[in-house]
Amino acid sequence: MMKPFTKLLIMIATLANVGCGSEGFTPHEKEVIAAGEVDIMALTTIANEQDSILLRSKSEPLTREMVESKEFEVLCRRMLATVQDPLNEGVGIAAPQVGLLRRLVAVQRFDKEGEPFEFFVNPEIVELGDDVELGGEGCLSVPEIRGEVRRAQSLVLRYRDAAFEERTERVEGFTAVIFQHEIDHLDGVLFIDKMEAEIEAEEDDETDAEE
């Protein structure tokens, strides 16, 4: 059972990030988006107590005003720079991993030519396929741990695009696995919560997801 003090900290973290009824980014969120002197943002990790509380919190939807703001443009640019950092690369990233409790993810589309990164606003999985497989995963917010997780190999995704228009598409293969991992982040769930077995360092290979 969660301790009352921990519940209070989660409530404080959520209010500090989301605010009370604002249609745009809160002052705190704007500070997070602009913090630092380079595009690469500080990652939240379970190694830090406050970060861990934030990572276990549920994210709130983005509004049209947020998506149409300059801050959103900066956030996407910086999230992309962070997940593509040559010193710590990943194949996907969610806003909570850079300190924002907002429903935004970037996913590398291995199912498309050129394998581009794309951003998805308020994503939700509306259908999971029955084709479940066990696969290796890691996470930028859970350093030095890799494990095996069961994931559906296909899904139907609903989200808002950069124009805040609603879209629906079917995704399959490794890309579908990445979407599940990243959307879990938006609900305060980490891959270690679903991990069936830890992968030893010598068993690791380049096909595992680092999300």
| Residues recognised as catalytic | 182
**Burial code of 4-35, b = ≥16 C-beta within 10 A, e = fewer?**
eeeeebbeebbeebbbeeeeebbeebbebbee
Neighbours of 96 (CB within 10 A): 27
Calculate the CA dihedral of residues 150, 156, 162, 165 and round it to 10 degrees. Answer: -150
Residue 30 contacts residue 65 (beta carbons within 8 Å): no
